[in-house]
Structure 1
């Protein structure tokens, strides 16, 4: 595989693993892009969710540490995808982050709607 000095388009790229998907054809390249999209979507959703709760007890420290490890691992995988300098992969990562933001924002607005203040009776000012 040729080394590229800057951003480039093409399907002959190694993403996350040596020798994959380059050399396997277009189907594997597009499946790799789907994997990159899902990873970046998960990374964005993890970035938007709080790590701790107000009543966090010391017994849950191992669970929170494992969750932090998973979040960091997924973020590093997305970073490794981006450093291929392939513009198709970079655009896929950006679309995944946008998709994760939209999906989590819509989920929050649908399941946890903001309370609406009642209007004052008889047009009185509150």
Structure 2
């Protein structure tokens, strides 16, 4: 590799070296798998949501963390943002094609995990949640 370029050529195009710390794809993976990124992507799977609706759908997330997470996901091209010029402005978020693709995989992973949990594990999770 020359000049610090972090991809190698594959038959179908560029392929990133995701295990290298300078790889640009690594930032996207970090944002998707962050504490809140996965929940934002799953929440937007079924509908476009306004900021407050998204905040209500994800228990435990603060406005600050939701704003930071959305900013990163918009910058990565996973989420789109639309501002309607009203007073106050109405901001709506939805998934791009890339975001839908990633979100579907995350929802499938979440489904696999929840199908494997025993009823006792699920009940314990609900008992812990209020006082977490």
Is TM more than 0.5 here? Answer: no
TM-score category, normalised to shorter length: 0.3 to 0.5
Please give the TM-score of this superposition, normalised by the length of structure 2. 0.35
Q: Does 1 or 2 have the higher relative contact order (CA < 8 Å, sep 6+)?
A: 1
Please give the TM-score of this superposition, normalised by the length of structure 1. 0.36
More helix by share: 1
More strand by share: 2
Larger Rg: 1
